[in-house]
A and B are shown apart, each in its own frame.
Chain A
Amino acid sequence: MAAYTTHPAQPSTDKRWKLVDAAMRRTGKSPRSLIETLHTVQEAFGYIDEEALRYVAMSLRVPLSRAYGVATFYHFFTLKPAGRHTCVICLGTACYIKGSRQLLEAVEKDLRVAPGETTADGEISLLTARCLGSCGLAPAVVYDQEVAGKVDANSLRKRLHDWNEQARSRHDA
């Protein structure tokens, strides 16, 4: 298999593959750079699909099954595209004690998705975090990378409502 002896061809002409190649070069292009490279892929593409995993594994000479094992071991990596918006509810101890489970239940009910899933319209992904380290502000929720502290069910529902409204107006336009 020629792909194992030379560097495989980039899966597409997408410029983001250059970022991935640069990350692999920077970390010495060894099997040890697998996790660092997967971070770069996820940052560039938002998720790691089979094509990306195959390309990275071949480039770094990591067996395919090992690459898959690593990508699925670490929960930070996602193999599916995320929604337009993400809502991460912290389930760290401090947040849990202050009612983040109730927040999660409210969202699960409203959006009809389980943690790790995306709504059918591809708008919102619901995620949970083990601890954001914002325990002083419990319960904490991250809306699209932005941390909000002392969240209650009302403010959470309002934000989700706003997102849905935006989606509707986009849809109408």
Chain B
Amino acid sequence: MTPDELEQIAEKERAAQSECATELRVCVAAGCLSCQSDKVKDALDAEIRQRGIGGCRVKGVGCMGLCAEGPLVSTSKGKMYKLVQPSDAGAVLDTFDPGTQDKILPAHLHCPTDTPFFQSQQKIVLENSGIIDPERIEEYIARDGYSALMKALTEMTPQEVIAEITASGLRGRGGAGYPTGLKWSTVAKAAGAKKFVICNADEGDPGAFMDRSVLESDPHRVLEGMLIAACAVGAQEGYIYVRAEYPLAIKRLRTAIRQAERLGLLGANICGTRFSLHLDLRLGAGAFVCGEETALIASIEGQRGTPRARPPYPAISGLMGGPTLINNVETYANVAPILRKGGAWYAGIGTEKSKGTKVFALAGRVKNTGLVEVPMGITLRRMVFEIGGGIPEGRQFKAVQTGGPSGGCLPEAALDMPIEYESLAKAGSIMGSGGMIVMDESSCMVDVARYFMDFCMTESCGKCVPCRVGTYQMHRILTAITNMTATPKDLAMLEELCDLVKHTSLCGLGQSAPNPVISTLKSFAAEYKAHIEEHRCPAGVCGIDAEGDKA
């Protein structure tokens, strides 16, 4: 494969696409697929064949973002249809079949795209999502795919690649926000005969599905990012550690790897250079802690996913003792555009310390649940009320939770804060991997804190004492509070435990486990007080069992 050959594939694909006047794109990512979007696709296909409409074809694409309104269908001309059932195939086709074009689309299928949900987004990571067929490498190539890899291999030195990533200001999208360029240069400089690149696709935060969407919608983008990274740091072997709970993402990744290998974009002597990279998948097996990098490495090595003390960091001594670069899916997904358009372009987006865009999975008590990509620095208020469309059923906003079980719940007062790594941390939460859960007055914040503590307790690996026993003790107290049996003494104990577990736990899971408690204690102290002193739950969530079955 040479740059010219790559361009030929792109040209051929573009030519084939231009022959088709209208392309009907049906989302076949997991969200819409669970609403039978595959049947919608078949129905549209059958309808076109039956009517014999020329220059029109149907294809399966990745996520279009507005998951709550699925199955979604869009056209290459910019129209979008929501909640499409197989029986709606005729109505959808009526709108551009020359014979029936004047028919009016039933209102429930019409999905306006001039809304803030679509207009406020800026897509870099998701630029191909919902547009290309994730199972065809040619479509990715037609949209400049693998051109960044070509550039890195033929026009740039590894140092220049790293310099470009550093200039972009890209930071780790897994949650902690470590500068990506710095990580790459550490691995590049680390001594070791065999180096590794790993993609962390063990998206474990409950309420987060950004990485799954990227892998299902545009898997080649992640492969290209990993290839460029491997070339920059000098790795010859790579692993994608993906949750076993994501069968569709696994299938598409396997397909993508096979396709890239067949074109000589992956494997030995890539594009005729001396650079080789062998990529393989490793499946997670239901352990949240494996998102922690040292636990992830242990898991790839076939062991219990328990973290170890750092230093040494994986960049120096990781998989099988070799220098190892671990980045998250979204981080790798940003790499190719940065190389294509330059670090300075990327650094022009976002804020001073948080550059570029971030993908969020917006869910919970908000009208537009789904996947959005926004420039860093946008306020939480715009996220919830403009993009999210506000709270349904005329209810009151109460809190927005970011960062999953490691993050915190932010109250109304924090809504005008820009979304940045530092500001979120200052407010008592974290950026996290991108889960954003909106809660209204029907959520009890003590119950939410108990929910997250239950999560941390069951996901604790059990290696270190503060996390193993501390999360159990905190969970016990929070359960007592929600059962209205706690005393003010318990609350003091809870605060003590938060401090202990936060500062003495071995890994990030334990160190951040108290965050949901600390943040709710800070912003919603009155709710704790009501449970403990007045034995009542202001949201009416707790104590339901005692009052009888409401279901």
Binding site for B on A (CB under 8 A): 30-36, 38-39, 62, 66, 69-70, 73-77, 91-94, 96-98, 102, 105-106, 109, 129-138, 140, 146-149, 153
Contact = CB atoms under 8 A, between A and B. Distances in A.
Contacts of A131: 204-209, 245
B287 A137 contact: no
Interface in B446-468: 448, 451-452, 455, 459, 461
B363 to A, nearest CB: 4
Given A73-B305, A93-B363, A94-B363, A135 B208 contact: yes
A138 B437 CA distance: 11
Interface stretch (B47-55, B162-170, B225-233, B296-304): B296-304
A130 to B, nearest CB: 5
A137 B401 contact: no
Contact of B437 (A76, A77, A97): A97
Residue among B203, B245, B287, B361 having the largest count of chain A Cβ atoms under 10 Å:
B245
Contact of B246 (A32, A91, A105, A133): A133
B176 interface: no
Contact of A137 (B68, B300, B361, B550): B68
A92 B245 contact: no
Contacts, number: 146
B151 to A, nearest CB: 33
A133 B301 contact: no
B34 A35 contact: no
Q: Shortest 10 CB-CB distances between A and B: which pairs?
A: A136-B67, A93-B207, A74-B285, A76-B286, A147-B34, A94-B363, A92-B206, A133-B209, A34-B302, A135-B363
A36 B369 contact: no
A137 B364 contact: no
Given A77-B285, A136-B370, A137-B68, A94 B364 contact: yes
Interface residues on B, range: 35 or more
Given A33-B302, A93-B363, A135-B363, A147 B287 contact: no
A130 B365 CA distance: 19
A147 to B, nearest CB: 4
20 contacts: A35-B299, A39-B283, A62-B302, A69-B304, A73-B287, A73-B305, A76-B285, A77-B286, A130-B288, A131-B205, A131-B206, A133-B208, A133-B245, A134-B31, A134-B67, A135-B67, A135-B369, A138-B364, A149-B34, A149-B35
Interface string B409-452: 00000000000000000000000000101010001000010011
Given A135-B361, A136-B68, A32 B301 contact: yes
A137 B302 CA distance: 34
Contacts of B550: 102
B551 interface: yes
Interface string B191-232: 000000000000111111100100000000000000000000
A74 B363 contact: no
Nearest to B405: A93
B30 interface: yes
A92 B207 contact: yes
B343 interface: no
A39 B241 CA distance: 14
Residue among A74, A97, A102, A129 having the largest count of chain B Cβ atoms under 10 Å:
A97
B493 interface: no
Interface in B322-361: 361
Contacts of B282: 35-36
B302 A129 contact: no
Contacts of B34: 134, 137, 140, 146-149
A78 to B, nearest CB: 10
Residue among A69, A70, A136 having the largest count of chain B Cβ atoms under 10 Å:
A136
Nearest to B301: A32
B404 A137 contact: no
A23 to B, nearest CB: 12
A85 to B, nearest CB: 18
A136 B451 CA distance: 19
Contact of A39 (B244, B304, B305): B244
A77 B287 CA distance: 11
A101 to B, nearest CB: 8
B318 interface: no
B70 interface: yes
B284 interface: yes
Contacts of B304: 69-70, 73
Nearest to B66: A136
Residue among A30, A132, A134, A148 having the largest count of chain B Cβ atoms under 10 Å:
A134
Contacts of B288: 130
A70 B204 contact: no
A148 B140 CA distance: 30
B208 A97 contact: no
A131 B212 CA distance: 11
A129 to B, nearest CB: 7
A39 B285 contact: yes
Nearest to B216: A133
Nearest to A39: B283
A39 B68 CA distance: 32
Contacts of B212: 133
Contacts of A38: 285
Contacts of A69: 304
Given A36-B283, A39-B283, A131-B205, A74 B70 contact: no
B551 A153 contact: yes
A94 B369 contact: yes
B286 A136 contact: no
A94 B551 CA distance: 19
B302 A35 contact: yes
A133 B203 contact: yes
Contacts of A77: 285-286
Contacts of A73: 287, 304-305, 461
A146 B247 CA distance: 12
A74 B289 CA distance: 10
